[in-house]
């Protein structure tokens, strides 16, 4: 048999999983011919479209032999591959050439792969660092000097090393810049060091892998996470993080299932069920995995965590027929889907498991869904950078103007440079220092606020951004909701039980079971025959149905307590409720369920069929058989929209569902149908026939269920489950909306759930139209939906991830343009990357500030993509909180963070920035006037210590005290969120306010200098002392005029600064003539100059407050 020419196959032109189906074999006695033919055709076979594929399997009856060749009925594909290890080793290059091409990353990995194959895949490293030893300095220096501000100061500082350009002390130019750079670099280095420690910890986590050994029992070796490779067999224990994407081969549970926690991947806290590959689960022990001649095919890595296409192939040992004629070796192929795979970063919740690694490092779903953080820069910083460019142009124009007025005499270009350096205080380096110190103050105020305890500022450069948010993108689970479900209502048509009457349900249920026991002859069927059943037996039926119709598994913890696990928290809530009223689920596996009644008896039911919930079907069904009576029941629960046509006619379902939905409850309709053994047998036969079809299998199975089971069901009741909201969510969302913030909810959850939460959180106003968009497939559908939304901008859009992606792919600009005008948008089934894409698109398209808030690992990309990321420390861990710019412990803290701290930070920084610019401008205007009067000579008016003192001790404290100013008190800011809306327009710092300050500086600088020169003094030293004193006092008065609400520190800073200035005069005789300074002549001249420069501004401010008062002053 070894001489049969077999060819390794690539994926191109093959079926989805990369295998060629066996051709129509008419002669089963010639298997060799079949294989030869298949192998020969495989070289040039191309499958054109699905139609061609369907022709291959025209009639299932013709291929009985095919059904026996395929190892199990679910396998639809066969692989014609190398049969044994010897043949594999002969042609390794053939396989690798067809699989590992740059454009095709799909892979076929044999068990115990060669080192050469493993080395072709990326290493299993976690790396979140931004820098390494070589890139740190270049990147940080570039990040700093790409801002015009810093580049300008660098050039000015360097110019002081040229003797011809030297003016004053070199240290006054170099020190501030060096200080700013050192602080920034130190902070970046520390942050990256912490990231490096976290990476090292993740990479060094130890895992057990199975390795061949000569002695008995599987030999395991402990290796760090970073050393794991594709093809390794990893043994996982309870609560261990899954280190790479792996196919689940075996679990400690006999049924081959295990639960995983996926909260760091998709944000959902409920446990997910995963199923081991049946062929490997059947093996006696883990050791046999090492002897298996098998291979796993996995599709190219993609981002989608809900999709996986692959196959598991076992090459059977060669069998012999009775006549000793060798039979062909046909591999057993089992399809693999997402339920057979454990994604990296999920956690094994119970038991132990063995997995086969298929993707590592950068190819894992977790890494592919994580975006790399970019350095965030606040809008205020960018605006100040823009103003710095204007100021630079002013400086250059002023320098050139003075040289031009002098007629470009002598070495005029040197003079231009000297003037540029003289006027360099126009762009004050102290502005960066002041703003950075201001940010630190705001951060401390936020972290020390007793009303929002536990709040942490992780990015201290962004507090001002909190004052300009216009879009809030929020996660749902754990952010708006606590993800704690509780059954609140049970409605049965004639009777309704609320949360406060559940003890009545327990009482009725106990009496119903006691009654059934005493009248043991009265079976359920006979009870149902009565004309009008009593309420307790009706209640018994509905509670029993709820206790049976689910996918919940009871898990016993180490301490003996029982917890329920399921993929839906709603189901857990309902099963917990049945337990609370007396009917407890005590055991469940894939074939049997046991319940304990209120009177202590055990009810056993065999699970015959399960029809799981899907977003298309919106319902979940189960067929069970009572082990005691043999009665077969079909139980179903689902959304009212689909159940209404399945159940018998009634007059109350639609109305009650609407009532519950308005209360924000998640509704499920419960119904049942009794089946005779003949009815069930007929259904089973039809269902089996549909399940082995190769074509349209899914549709056929659904239609069989609908035809045999899903009609004329007896309506038992309606349940209402509440997803508890976070504290004060409704009030917070209303306040934010009144503050002009548009709110989007992006969730990985189902449409129905998200819609309920949107209603219960009041994200959707009462009676507001909700427009659902789901399952869009064509561009025409997308266009129609967009046209509808364009005409109805007051609605709330609810859209699923698939349709969202289609909209973004086809009509990105139109979609964002329309949806950003809507009052609310809810996007469901969003992948982490989609969330981040939406945030980026809104930022890019609207140019507005976007804030993202979330609490799980799946929200990290979105948080990093936003202008401001807020992470909530919650049940889903700290991953979001660590990646965020601001970390809070509750969603409701957002109100205080934005409306109070954000608003204050922005207003204060805007005022501070403009005042510091004014401080630099006024002294430069005085210098310009002085130079113009003194023959355009580039001579410094104030030198050495006066310049150092002016930028620091004489003005810094009063100016910096502006960071404590506030226009309204805290209560008013939270009562009137409309004040916040005013700020988002960015009027606190705009070209208009900038030019107002420019005019003020020109007027004051010119007034002080001209009056000092022309009116009073001829002696240079006296001019310096009069003008400088007038300047310092003028600045102190200007600070006082700018303050809205006085603070004790402001008063102290003004008084102390003036005191320091008076004292310092005595120590600076080279700048001040002490005899002149203490004379009355000096005092009245300074007073007149200050009055001329400051009084007009006081009167203008007074008139403006009367004629056009600020919005905040109307509230005081």
**Catalytic residues, which ones?**
475
SS3 labels along 634-673: EEEEECHHHHCCCECCCCCHHHHHHHHHHCCCEEEEEEEE
**φ and ψ of 668, to 5 deg:** -135, 130
What does the buried/exposed string (b/e) look like for 153-179 if buried means 16 or more CB atoms within 10 Å of the residue's CB? bbebbebbeeeebebbeeebbbebbee
Read off the tokens for 288: 């046999």
Asked if 79 and 331 count as a contact pair (C-beta separation under 8 A), the reply is yes
What 3-state class would DSSP assign to 811? helix
Nearest to 120 by CA among 135, 138, 101: 101
937 SS3 class: coil
CA distance 399 to 349: 72
What does R_g of the chain's alpha carbons equal in angstroms? Answer: 38
SS3 674: strand
Q: List, edge to edge, every strand of the sheet that includes 219-224.
A: 219-224, 206-211, 233-236, 353-359, 245-251, 341-342
Q: Is the dihedral of CA 944, 950, 954, 956 positive or negative?
A: negative
Greatest C-alpha distance within the chain: 131
Q: Report residue 215: phi and psi, to 5°.
A: -80, 175
Nearest to 636 by CA among 573, 520, 715, 727: 715
- The answer for residues whose C-beta is within 8 angstroms of residue 874's C-beta and 6 or more apart is 478, 479, 855, 856
- Scanning 937-1079, the segments in alpha helix (DSSP H) are 945-951, 956-960, 970-975, 978-984, 991-1010, 1020-1042, 1048-1065, 1074-1077
Task: Please identify which residue in the block is written with the tokens 């002009």.
Answer: 740
Burial class from Cβ neighbours inside 10 Å (0-12, 13-18, 19+) for residue 764 reads: buried
DSSP H or E stretch at residue 1085: helix 1080-1107
The bridge status of strand 868-872 relative to strand 849-854 is: parallel
3-class SS of residue 162: coil
Cβ(1093)–Cβ(1007) under 8 Å? yes
Burial per residue of 286-310, b for 16 or more beta-carbon CB atoms within 10 angstroms, e otherwise: beebeebbbbbbbbebeeebeebbb
């Amino acid at each position: 048999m070894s001489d049969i020419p077999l060819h390794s196959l690539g994926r191109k032109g093959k079926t989805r999983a990369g295998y060629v189906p066996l051709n129509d074999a008419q002669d089963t006695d010639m298997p060799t011919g079949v294989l030869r033919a298949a192998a020969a055709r495989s070289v040039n076979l191309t499958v054109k479209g699905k139609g061609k594929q369907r022709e291959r399997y025209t009639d299932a009856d013709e291929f009985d032999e095919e059904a026996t060749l395929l190892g199990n009925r679910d396998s639809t594909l066969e692989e014609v591959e190398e049969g044994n290890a010897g043949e594999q080793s002969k042609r390794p290059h053939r396989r690798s050439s067809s699989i590992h091409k740059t454009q095709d990353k799909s892979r076929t990995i044999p068990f115990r792969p060669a080192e050469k194959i493993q080395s072709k895949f990326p290493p299993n490293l976690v790396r979140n660092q931004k820098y390494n030893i070589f890139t740190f300095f270049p990147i940080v220096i570039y990040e700093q000097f790409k801002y015009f501000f810093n580049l300008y100061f660098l050039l000015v500082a360097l110019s002081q090393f040229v003797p011809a350009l030297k003016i004053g002390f070199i240290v006054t130019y170099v020190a501030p810049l060096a200080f700013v750079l050192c602080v920034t670099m130190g902070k970046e280095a520390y942050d990256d060091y912490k990231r490096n420690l976290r990476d090292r910890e993740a990479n060094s986590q130890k895992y057990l892998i199975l390795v061949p050994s000569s002695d008995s029992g599987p030999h395991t070796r402990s290796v760090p996470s970073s050393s794991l490779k594709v093809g390794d067999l990893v043994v996982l224990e309870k609560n261990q993080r899954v280190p790479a994407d792996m196919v689940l081969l075996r679990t400690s549970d006999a049924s081959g299932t295990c639960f995983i926690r996926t909260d760091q991947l998709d944000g959902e806290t409920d446990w997910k069920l995963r199923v081991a590959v049946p062929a490997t689960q059947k093996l006696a022990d883990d050791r046999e995995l090492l002897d298996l001649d098998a291979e796993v095919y996995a599709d190219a890595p993609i981002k989608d965590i809900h999709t996986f296409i692959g196959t598991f192939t076992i090459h059977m040992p060669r069998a012999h027929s009775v006549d000793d004629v060798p039979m062909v070796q046909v591999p057993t192929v089992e399809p693999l889907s997402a339920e057979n795979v454990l994604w990296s970063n999920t956690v094994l919740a119970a038991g132990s498991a063995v997995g086969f690694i298929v993707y590592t490092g950068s190819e894992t779903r977790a890494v592919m869904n994580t975006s790399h953080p970019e350095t965030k820069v606040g809008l205020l910083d960018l605006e100040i950078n823009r103003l710095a460019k204007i100021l630079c142009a002013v400086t250059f124009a002023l320098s050139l103007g003075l040289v031009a007025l002098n007629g470009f005499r002598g070495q005029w270009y040197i003079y231009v440079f000297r003037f540029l350096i003289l006027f360099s205080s126009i762009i004050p380096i102290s502005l960066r220092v002041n703003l950075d110190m201001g940010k630190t103050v705001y951060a401390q105020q936020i972290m020390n606020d007793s009303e929002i305890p536990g709040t942490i500022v992780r990015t201290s450069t962004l507090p001002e951004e909190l004052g300009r948010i216009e879009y809030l993108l929020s996660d749902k689970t754990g952010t708006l909701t606590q993800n704690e479900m509780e059954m609140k209502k049970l409605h049965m048509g004639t009777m309704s039980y609320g949360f406060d009457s559940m003890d009545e349900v327990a009482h009725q249920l106990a009496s119903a079971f006691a009654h059934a026991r005493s009248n043991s002859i009265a079976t359920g069927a006979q009870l149902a025959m009565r004309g009008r059943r009593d309420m307790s037996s009706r209640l018994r039926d509905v509670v029993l149905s709820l206790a049976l119709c689910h996918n919940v598994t009871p898990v016993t913890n180490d301490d003996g307590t029982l917890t329920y696990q399921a993929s839906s928290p709603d189901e857990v809530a309902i099963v917990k409720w049945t337990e609370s009223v007396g009917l407890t689920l005590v055991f469940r596996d894939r074939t049997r369920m046991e319940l304990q009644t209120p009177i202590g008896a055990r009810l056993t039911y065999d699970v015959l069929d399960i029809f799981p919930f899907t977003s298309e079907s919106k319902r979940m069904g189960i067929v069970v058989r009572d082990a005691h009576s043999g009665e077969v029941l079909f139980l179903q629960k689902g959304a009212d929209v689909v159940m209404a046509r399945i159940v018998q006619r009634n007059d109350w379902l639609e109305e009650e569902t609407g009532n519950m939905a308005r209360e924000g409850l998640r509704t499920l309709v419960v119904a049942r149908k009794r089946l005779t053994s003949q009815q069930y047998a007929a259904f089973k036969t039809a269902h089996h026939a549909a399940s082995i079809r190769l074509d349209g299998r899914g549709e056929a199975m659904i239609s069989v269920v609908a035809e045999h089971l899903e009609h004329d069901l007896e309506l038992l009741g309606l349940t209402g489950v509440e997803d508890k909201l976070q504290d004060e969510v409704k009030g917070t969302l209303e306040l934010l909306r009144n503050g002009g913030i548009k709110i989007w909810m992006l969730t990985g959850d189902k449409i129905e759930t998200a819609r309920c939460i949107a209603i219960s959180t009041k994200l959707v106003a009462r009676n507001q139209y909700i427009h659902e968009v789901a399952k869009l497939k064509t561009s025409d559908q997308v266009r129609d939906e967009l046209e509808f939304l364009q005409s109805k901008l007051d609605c709330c859009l609810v859209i699923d991830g698939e349709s969202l992606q289609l909209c973004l792919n086809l009509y990105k600009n139109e979609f964002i343009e329309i949806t950003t005008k809507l009052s609310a948008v809810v996007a469901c089934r969003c992948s982490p990357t989609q969330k981040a894409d939406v945030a980026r698109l809104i930022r890019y398209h609207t140019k507005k500030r976007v804030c993202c808030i979330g609490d799980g690992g799946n929200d990290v990309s979105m948080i990093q993509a936003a202008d401001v990321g807020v992470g909530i420390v919650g049940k889903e861990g700290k991953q979001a909180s660590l990646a965020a710019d601001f970390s809070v412990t509750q969603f409701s803290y957002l109100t205080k963070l934005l409306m109070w701290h954000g608003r204050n930070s922005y207003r204060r920084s805007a005022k501070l920035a403009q005042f510091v610019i004014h401080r630099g401008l006024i002294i430069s205007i005085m210098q310009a006037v002085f130079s113009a009067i003194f023959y355009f000579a580039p001579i410094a008016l104030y030198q050495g210590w006066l310049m150092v003192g002016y930028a620091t001790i004489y003005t810094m404290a009063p100016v910096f005290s502006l960071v404590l100013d506030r226009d309204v008190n805290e209560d008013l800011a939270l009562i009137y969120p409309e004040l916040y809306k005013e700020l988002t327009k960015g009027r606190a710092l705009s070209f208009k306010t900038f030019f107002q300050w420019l005019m003020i500086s020109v007027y004051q600088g010119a007034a002080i200098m001209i009056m000092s020169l022309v009116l009073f003094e001829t002696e240079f030293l006296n001019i310096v002392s009069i003008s400088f004193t007038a300047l310092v006092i003028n600045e102190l008065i200007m600070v006082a005029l700018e303050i809205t609400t006085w603070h004790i520190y402001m008063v102290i800073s003004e008084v102390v600064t003036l005191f320091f200035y008076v004292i310092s005069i005595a120590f600076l005789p080279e700048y001040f003539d002490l005899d002149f300074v203490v004379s009355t002549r000096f005092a009245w001249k300074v007073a007149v100059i200050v009055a001329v420069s400051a009084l007009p501004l006081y009167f203008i401010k007074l008139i403006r407050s009367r004629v056009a008062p600020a919005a905040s002053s109307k509230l005081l």
